[in-house]
Amino acid sequence: MEFSRRTFLKISGATTAGAILGSLGFNLLKPKAAYAQPLKIKYAKETTTICPYCAVGCGQIVSVKDGKVINVEGDPDHPINQGSLCSKGSALYQIANNDRRLSKVQYRAAYATEWKEVSWDWALSKIAEKIKTTRDKNWVTKDKNGNVVNRTEAIATFGGAALDNEECYLYSKMARALGLVYIEHCARI
Amino acid sequence: MAEKAVLLDLSKCMACRGCQVACKQWNDLPAEKTTFFGGPGYQNPKDLSPQTWTLVKFFEKKENGSLIWAFRKHQCLHCSDAACIAACPVTPKAMTRDKETGIVYVDESRCIGCGACVEYCPFGVPHVDEKDEKSKKCTFCIDRIQEGLEPACVKTCPSGALIFGDRDEMLKKAKAIAKKLKMAGRNPYIYGIKELKGLHKIYVLPEGLDFYDLPKSPKVPEDIGLLEGLLKPISVATLTAAAVGLAIGYLKTVRQEQVAEKEKEKC
Amino acid sequence: MTNHWIDIRNSDCIMIIGSNAAENHPISFKWVTEAMENGAKLISVDPRFTRTSSKADIYAPLRSGTDIAFIGGIINYCLVNGLYNEEYVAEFTNASHLINSGFGFSDGYFSGFDQKNSKYSKSTWQYQLDENGIPKEDKTLKDPNCVFQLMKKHYSRYDADTVSKVTGCPKAMFLKVTKKYCETGQRGKAGTIMYAMGTTQHTYGTQNVRSYAVLQLLLGNMGLAGGGINALRGESNVQGSTDHCLLFHIIPGYLKTPKAGDKDLQTYLKHYTPVSKDPKSVNYWKHYPKFAVSLLKAFWGDAATEENDFAYNYLPKISGNYSHIALFEALYKGVIKGMILLGQNPAVGGPNARMERKAMENLDWMVAADLWETETASFWKGPEVDPKKIKTEVFLLPAAASFEKEGSITNSGRWAQWRYQAVNPPGQAKDDLWILNAIFTRVQNLYKKEGGKFPEPITKLAWNYGEHPSSHTVAKEINGYNLTTGKLLANFTKLKDDGTTMCGNWLYSGSYTEDGNMMARRELDDPTGIGLYPKWTWCWPVNRRIIYNRASCDTKGNPWNPDKYVIKWNGEKWVGDVPDYGKTVPPEKNVGAFIMKPEGHARIFGMGLADGPFPEHYEPVESPVENMISSVQIDPIVKVWDSEMDKIGTSDTFPIIATTYRVTEHWQTGAMTRSLPWLVELMPNMFCEMSKSLAKKKSIKNGDNVKIKSARGEIEAYALVTDRFQPFKLNGKVVEEIGLAWHYGFIGLSKGDSANCLTPHVGDANTMIPEYKAFLCDVKKA
């Protein structure tokens, strides 16, 4: 059976409020006037995700307001972590709000000492040219025993255990179509 | 709402420090600049501060040839007999107790940043932020509690070392855990039953009272009443942090002299 | 993991060895703790007393790299004292199988060693076959040529005294662990082994894992709730990236990359499709042709036809080893000109990192996509480098983070879980699906326009994903379609080898069906009560939550532990988890509990290994002692490389053992944590842990800056002096060991020297995983 996102988010919301309240033996609470700070995530949009660090696969809820991540915490419905997170998982917010994040394409020319900002279009065209030139120049049709091998050993790919399955699959498909054999990633090391 | 507490079952803490980061995240607290290492083991930062409201401390000892590496999450204990409240000189007090839950928090609209709470807290918890001159400490995530959520640190704790609930329930749980630990040959102590007429952060200390850098019998300093007396003549409107600072300084000197005198008597 | 995270709670005894689960997989301790609350015992075996050890009932120290000696000792104790599950061993493993009488083992070498080529001929490592070609068995386990007797003989050399001398674990402590863990051999009990890179990152890492598997089979722990051997994988989707085979030797679904000489599809399929002459055998890999042809159809679509061998010719063929270490050796020699990296940082994470950084200088170009600048993308800025002399052009592409895109990732327990996009990536950053598509479509257009060398695999590749591939479209391709009906396949049993089905990865068939996206499910039903959550997301294969689960029942189909049954036979069918067996095949048909093996039995005797059918102790390539178990010092299959930067140190110059590890607060090369201020606050600097005795000897105080030197390089770190490291007594010789966090590098908010500047460029005999965990060094005050 298929669960639409809308449905599960409703369930998730109800559980956060209901299950936690219930398990703690709370009656439905009346906010106490004395502490006046409003709950910051109250009107935020919630999205479920899975933690990008280790492979336990903990569920997280990302709260977004005005297109910005304002809070991340464990997904209480997730059967593995049941709302909990370690220090890394708890720090996800700082991946979203981080002035060191790359936001533009950078290029380093041969013998240059600095990065230079370039456009996607320029970079992608150059990359495609480099792949083609290197592949064509270093193409091996047959090995020394006369076996057809149809490969190039001049291009290597790395990554990525941090990619999604769909990305891994396309990466694998692309690399094989290009005739690459130096295909490796963190799973080996 | 009934009186609330967080039970800290240190036999289950593995110092992942999810609580430390979750606290910063929920409360929008910036990171501190640290270096290797703030304390024993992997402890960092060195201490609580206006930017760090909770902190895992590391303890290491060798006993009968085997090693014990223990961890204690340090933060405001939300005392029933809270020195910080007693010391708070403004009227109405900035250091406030939520009567129903027992949570102690700073009402920043009233806080004048005088540091009386800093001076008198037996656990070294509150710290005045130089930037906005307000006293800062663990709020027990009262904003979350009021909306039926657990405190951020409890929510994030993976191993069940932190449990949140009604205080009497937490005490029952603490006793059950301590009993189990005792049966396993440990020497547990429950910290928070009687201390300062009952704490709202209750520790089960598997290695006993002495090992975790907690005061053995924390007290509200005796001269705390004197502070109120000293400040009485000053009207609420004109009370400044500087005035309180002066009064605290005066009392500190008195206290030191008293201690010195007692020492002398001993000799 | 054969089992999954939640299942740890079902265990009676948890042995964490070669893993520091509390630090590197903290949420696993939710379930470890729950098991302990229910009475389970926790054993931590580690060179260093870790946050995991702090929670353990028993902590046993073990010198890095001596797992086989330790586990071999437990196996010996288990066999000598009859603590194994006899029915399980006789019926479900190949213990009863007779081996060629020419097989033998003598002083460190198995039969068939070819000294000249450092290779084994495996002709004697084979089953004896009867006249029908079926392996001969002796269910009484008494025949001197049966695996059980050969194993007993092999491990008789691993007595407790020898184990203690080799590992440095005090004998009493070793025996305490052994007795406790062997209790799980009792009917109704289950023990689990949690392991990670402390196990695998050795020159005999594969055999380390096998030693755990052998022990678990003897104790009857495989297939049970609370049992299994559980690899705790380190990256969020390293399971998925492995399943999709971003590795030289395999293509999606663990199919073999064709080798030079696999000249056509028929040759290839014949080469890799196992055959069993036993009419009872399931031999599941007999379906290999269906998986392979369906993959070729997914890759080349209409261009893959029966007439052209389904475009088999388009697949590159390998001749030799192209693994990480070999790759960098080739790069060092200038064979490789261009490199593409998506979220990987070998300048910090690769072994002998100084050498790997140096090798990068030979690149003409590099493309790197990441969230932050990495040491790899900026290798030309690194220490010891003058950028003005580096020719490499580098393209650094800004990538999207996990919550800035939509797709699935597979956790260590094989659960493929869907995640959603919460926000857009910052600025011009793009998700990797977009990046891959943008690169490939441009390459494809160039070949369509200009032609080039063998352009067909590129021009004819089924690649029609538009401007921005939808993760749903790709997920469906991975699941596979029936090409006749156009419908998504229900699972891999529907695959055909005639070109009428396509499937990007047979293991994932069933993940996205006509019933919807199974990976996005969020139902919390738990019908068996053992925490399988069959309707929470989806897991491979076919949503089976515990693999080898047929072995959770005895020969009659009754669960070894009825209270925590995984499956059971109800007279008509198997109920519980998705059975790892025919759903309606009755137990008395006895088709073999391990259906992926042609003989239907788990292999205690593993003839597929490069370095021996039984795990045997050898020393790390750099070791302070001589092998005390045989006169063969190192695994004889291990390749030692010979570039001028591949130096091997000896204990006269480098008397101290070093090992590397991670901490909770950072992740891998630090690329995703050393720019997060909260995590940097917790773990700001590179540090080196050492014993008080070593510190005293070297006049080092806690917090001092120290220099650590190996044959490959020298680094600096803060000293953390602690009782948690103790020197090892090895046959009377006292040897110190130090520990290094390997998260640091020269880029980021927190910087520090990289531990991998010290590690050697040698790899495992079977997998070529680098030896990161045991090497030699010296330490001094800086």
What type of residue sits at position C280?
K
Q: What share of chain C is helix, strand, coil (3-state, %, to 5)?
A: 30, 20, 50
CA A58 to chain CA mean position, Å: 14
Give a yes or no: residue A177 inside a domain. yes
Does A51 contact chain C (CB < 8 Å)? Answer: yes
**Does the beta-carbon distance from B15 to C51 stay under 8 Å?**
yes
**Measured at the alpha carbon of residue A50, what is the angle toward residues A44 and A55, in degrees to the nearest 5?**
155
Chain B residues closer than 8 Å to C703 by CB: 36-37
- Residue of chain B with shortest Cα separation from C52: B14
Owner of token pair 């800025």: C381
From chain C, pick out residues whose CB is under 8 angstroms from the CB of B31: 677-678, 680-681
C-alpha to C-alpha distance for C40 and C762, rounded to whole angstroms:
38
How far is residue C466's CA from residue C479's CA, in Å, rounded to a whole number? 20
Structural domain boundaries, residue A144:
138-185
Residue C425 is classified by DSSP as P
* Residues C155, C34 share a domain: yes
SS3 A1: coil
Same domain for B27 and B120, yes or no, is yes
B141 and B259 in a single domain? The answer is no
Which residue from A minimizes the CA distance to C397? A105
Please name the chains neighbouring A, where neighbouring means 3+ C-beta pairs under 8 angstroms. Answer: B, C
For residues C254 and C507, the answer to whether their CB atoms sit within 8 Å is yes
Q: Determine the 3-state secondary structure of C492 from DSSP.
A: helix
Instruction: Give the per-residue pLDDT at A155.
Output: 98
Evaluate whether residue A61 is within a structural domain: no
Same domain, C293 and C408: no
**What are the phi and psi torsion angles at B88 (to 5°)?**
-60, 120
- Residue C730, domain CATH: 2.40.40.20
Is the CB of C403 less than 8 angstroms away from the CB of A96?
yes
pLDDT surpasses 90 at B70: yes
Judging by beta carbons within 10 Å of its beta carbon (0-12, 13-18, 19+), is residue C777 exposed, middle or buried?
buried
- Which range marks the domain in which residue C489 is found? 249-318+470-508
Long-range residue pairs from A140-146, CB within 8 A, at least 24 positions apart, any chain: A141/C453, A141/C454, A143/C260, A143/C317, A143/C319, A145/C260, A145/C261
Strand-strand pairing, A116-118 and C255-256: unpaired
- Judge whether C620 lies within some domain: no
Question: ∠ CA(C710), CA(C714), CA(C718), 5° rounding?
Answer: 110
Q: Are residues C85 and C143 in the same domain?
A: yes
Q: With a cut of 70, say whether residue A26 has pLDDT above it.
A: no
Q: B79-110 pLDDT, tens per residue?
A: 999 999 999 999 899 999 999 999 999 999 99
* Apex B15 CA angle, B14 and B19, nearest 5: 120
What's the gap between Cα C697 and its chain centre? 38
Label residue C189 by pLDDT band (50, 70, 90).
Answer: very high
- Which residue from C minimizes the CA distance to A85? C27
Q: Is residue C260 domain-shared with residue C202, that is, in the same domain?
A: no
| CB of B52 less than 8 A from some CB of A | no
Convert the pLDDT of each residue in C220-270 to its tens digit.
Answer: 999 999 999 999 999 999 999 999 999 999 999 999 999 999 999 999 999
The DSSP secondary-structure symbol of B86 reads H
Q: B19 to chain C, minimum CA–CA distance in Å?
A: 12
Same domain for C660 and C764?
yes
pLDDT value, residue B204: 98
Name the residue range of residue B233's domain. 223-267
Please give the model's pTM, rounded to 2 decimal places: 0.95
Determine how β-strand C191-195 pairs with β-strand C229-231.
Answer: parallel
CB contact under 8 A, C55 and B70: no
Mean pLDDT value across residues A65-87 = 97
Q: How far apart are CA C238 and CA C24, in angstroms?
A: 14
Distance from CA of B231 to the nearest CA of C (A): 40
pLDDT in tens, C630-672: 999 999 999 999 899 999 999 999 999 999 999 999 999 999 9
Q: What is the pLDDT of residue A15?
A: 39
Distance CA C43, CA A101 (A): 41
Q: Which residue has the tokens 């090798």?
A: C359
8-state DSSP, C146? B
A2: contact with C, CB 8 A cutoff: yes
* Residue C685 in contact with partner chain B when CB distance is under 8 A: yes
Nearest residue of C to residue A104, measured between CA atoms: C428
The answer as to whether C114 is a domain residue is yes
Please report, for residues B194, C136, C278, C433, C607, the alpha-carbon distance to residue C131 in angstroms, rounded to integers and kept in the order given: 82, 10, 11, 55, 21
Contact A55 C668 (CB under 8 A): no
Residues C226 and C254 in one domain: no
Q: Which of C172-194 are b and which e, b meaning 16 or more Cβ less than 10 Å from the residue's Cβ?
A: ebbbbbbebbbebbeeebbbbbb
User: C687: which chain B residues are within 8 Å (Cβ-Cβ)?
Assistant: 36-37
**Letter string b/e over residues C20-54, b meaning 16 or more CB atoms within 10 A of that residue's CB:** bbbbbbbbbbbbbbbbbeeebbbbbbbbbbbbbbb
Grade residue B37 by pLDDT with cuts at 50, 70 and 90. Answer: confident
Instruction: Check whether A16 has a pLDDT greater than 60.
Output: no
What's the number of domains chain A is made of? Answer: 1
Contacts for A189 with CB less than 8 Å, ≥ 6 apart:
C324, C346, C349, C350, C351, C769, C770, C772
Nearest 5°: CA angle at C685, between C681 and C689?
Answer: 120
Question: Cα C108 from chain centroid?
Answer: 26
Per residue in C334-387, pLDDT (tens digit) is 999 999 999 999 999 999 999 999 999 999 999 999 999 999 999 999 999 999
- How many domains does chain B contain in total? 2
Strand bridging mode C538-539 / C516-517: unpaired
Residue B177 shares a structural domain with residue B73 = yes
E strands, C96-203, where?
A: 105-106, 109-110, 113-114, 119-120, 191-195
Mean pLDDT of chain A: 86
Q: Which of A92, A165, A183 to mutate to test the interface with C (most CBs of C within 10 A)?
A: A165
Whether B123 and B242 map to the same domain: the answer is no
In a domain, C239, yes or no: no
pLDDT recorded at residue A19 = 42
B3 reaches A (C-beta below 8 A): no
Q: Hey, which chains touch B, using 3+ CB pairs under 8 Å? A: A, C
Residues C255 and C310 in one domain: yes
Contacts of B152 in chain A (CB under 8 A): 73
Contacts of A155 in chain C (CB under 8 A): 336-340
pLDDT digits (tens, 9 = 90+) for C376-390: 999 999 999 999 999
A59 in contact with chain B, both atoms CB, cutoff 8 A: no
For C463-480, how does the pLDDT look when each residue is reduced to its tens digit (9 = 90+)?
A: 999 999 999 999 999 999
What confidence score (pLDDT) does residue C177 get? 98
In degrees to the nearest 10, what's the CA dihedral of C85, C87, C91, C97?
70
Question: B142 and B45, same structural domain?
Answer: yes
Q: Is residue C556 part of a domain?
A: no
Here the tokens at position C278 are 């036993």
- Work out the mean pLDDT of chain C and round it to a whole number: 97
Residue C424: its chain A contacts at CB < 8 A? 67
Residues 6+ apart with CB under 8 A from C750: C670, C674, C680, C683, C684, C685, C744
Please answer yes or no on whether A86 and B25 come within 8 Å at the CB atom: no
Q: How far is CA C628 from CA C67, C165, C730, in A?
A: 14, 8, 10
- Say whether both C18 and C160 belong to one domain: yes
How much of chain B exceeds pLDDT 70, in percent?
96
Q: Residues A79-89: what's their mean pLDDT?
A: 98
CATH of the domain at B166: 3.30.70.20
Query: What crossing angle do the helices spanning C160-167 and C67-80 adopt, rounded to 10°?
Result: 170
Query: Residue B247's pLDDT band (boundaries 50, 70, 90)?
Result: confident
Q: Which of C6, C52, C54 to mutate to test the interface with B (most CBs of B within 10 A)?
A: C54
Q: Looking at the structure, do residues C292 and C351 belong to the same domain, yes or no? A: no
Helix, strand, or coil (residue A78): coil
Q: CA-to-CA distance for C120 and C652, rounded, in angstroms?
A: 32
CB-based contact, B172 to chain A, within 8 Å = no
Q: Give the position of tokens 């926790």.
A: C42
Determine the average pLDDT of the residues in C68-79: 98
pLDDT at A35: 63
Residues B127 and B41 in one domain: yes
**pLDDT for the residue B266:** 63
Q: In this structure, are B80 and B181 located in the same domain?
A: yes
- List the single best residue of B137, B155, B162 to mutate versus A (max A Cβ within 10 A): B155
Tokens 């998504």 found at = C488
Asked if B159 lies within 8 A of C679 by C-beta distance, the reply is no
The single-letter code of the amino acid at A100 is: R
Whether chain A has a CB inside 8 Å of the CB on B91: the answer is no
Q: What is the pLDDT of residue B219?
A: 93
Alpha helices in C499-586 (DSSP H): none
The answer to whether residue C612 sits within a structural domain is no
Residue C470 burial by Cβ neighbours in a 10 Å radius (0-12, 13-18, 19+)? middle
Q: Using a CB-CB distance cutoff of 8 angstroms, which residues of chain C are in contact with residue B158?
A: 26-27, 29-30
pLDDT for res B237: 65
Between CA B136 and CA B51 the distance in angstroms is 8
- Nearest chain C residue to B61 by CA distance is C723
Q: Does B166 touch chain A (CB under 8 A)?
A: yes
Q: What is the mean pLDDT of residues B146-168?
A: 97
Mean pLDDT for the stretch of residues C61-85 = 98
Amino acid letter, residue C687: F
Dihedral pair phi/psi, residue A173, rounded to 5°: -65, -45
Chain C closest-CA separation from residue B46 CA (Å): 10
pLDDT of residue A17: 39
Length of chain B: 267
Q: Is B18 on the interface with A (CB under 8 A)?
A: yes
C272 touches chain A (CB under 8 A): no
When CB atoms are compared, the residue of A11, A56, A95 closest to C5 is: A56
How far is Cα of residue A187 from the mean position of the Cα atoms in its chain? 17
Average pLDDT in the A121-135 region? 98
Asked whether residue C407 falls in the same domain as residue C441, the answer is yes
Minimal-distance CA residue of chain C relative to A55: C236
**CA distance to partner chain C, nearest, from residue B36 (Å):** 6
In this predicted model, what pLDDT tens digit does every residue of C736-778 receive, in sequence order? 999 999 999 999 999 999 999 999 999 999 999 999 999 999 9
- B5 and B126 fall within a common domain: yes
A72 touches chain B (CB under 8 A): yes
Chain B residues with CB under 8 Å of a chain C CB are 12, 14-18, 20-21, 24-25, 30-37, 41-42, 44-45, 60, 62, 66-71, 158-160
Same domain, B242 and B173: no
Share of chain C above pLDDT 90, in %: 99
- The chains in contact with chain C, meaning 3 or more Cβ pairs closer than 8 Å, are A, B
Q: For B181, which residue in chain C has the nearest alpha carbon?
A: C37
Given B221, B239, B256, the domain boundary residue is B221
C118: left (phi over 0), alpha (psi -120 to 50) or beta: left
Residue pair C319/C291 in contact (Cβ under 8 Å)? The answer is no
Q: What is the per-residue pLDDT across C299-316, written as a single tens digit (0 to 9) for each?
A: 999 999 999 999 999 999
CATH of the domain at C214: 3.40.228.10
The helix/strand count (H/E) of chain B reads as 8, 10
Residue A105 has pLDDT above 70, yes or no: yes
Residues in B touching A73 (Cβ below 8 Å): 22, 25-26, 152, 155-156
Higher pLDDT, B45 or B38: B45
Q: How many CA atoms lie within 13 A of C729 on its CB side?
A: 6
**Where residue C367 sits, what CATH number does that domain have?**
3.40.50.740
pLDDT at C210: 98
**Do C306 and C330 belong together in one domain?**
no
Q: Reduce the DSSP state of residue C218 to 3 states and report it.
A: helix
> Inter-chain contact C684–B71, Cβ cutoff 8 Å?
no
The yes-or-no verdict on residue B232 having pLDDT over 90 is: no
pLDDT tens figures, C235-249: 999 999 999 999 999
Q: Is there a contact between C224 and C566 (Cβ–Cβ < 8 Å)?
A: yes
SS3 B262: helix
Are A74 and B155 within 8 A, CB to CB? yes
The residue in chain B having the minimum alpha-carbon distance to the alpha carbon of residue A60 is B156
Torsions phi, psi for B187 (to 5 deg)? -125, 65
B106 and B229: one domain?
no
Cross-chain residue pair A107–C394, CB shorter than 8 Å: yes
Note whether C363 and C356 are within 8 A (CB).
Answer: no
pLDDT at A110: 98
Residues C474 and C441 in one domain: no
Residues B136 and B233 in one domain: no
Residue C693 carries which side chain, given as an amino acid letter? S
- Whole-angstrom Cα distance, residue A54 to residue C22? 12
Are C246 and A171 in contact (CB < 8 Å)? yes
What is the arithmetic mean of pLDDT over B203-216? 97
Contact by Cβ (8 Å): C224, C190: yes
Q: Nearest CA of chain B to the CA of A162: how many Å?
A: 21
Considering the domain boundaries, does residue A180 fall inside one? Answer: yes
Please say whether the beta carbons of C182 and C74 come within 8 A. Answer: yes
**Residue B174 and residue B240 share a domain:** no
| pLDDT higher than 50, residue C43 | yes
CA C269 to chain centre: 26
Report the percentage of chain A scoring pLDDT > 70: 80
- A-chain residues within 8 Å CB-CB of B139? 35
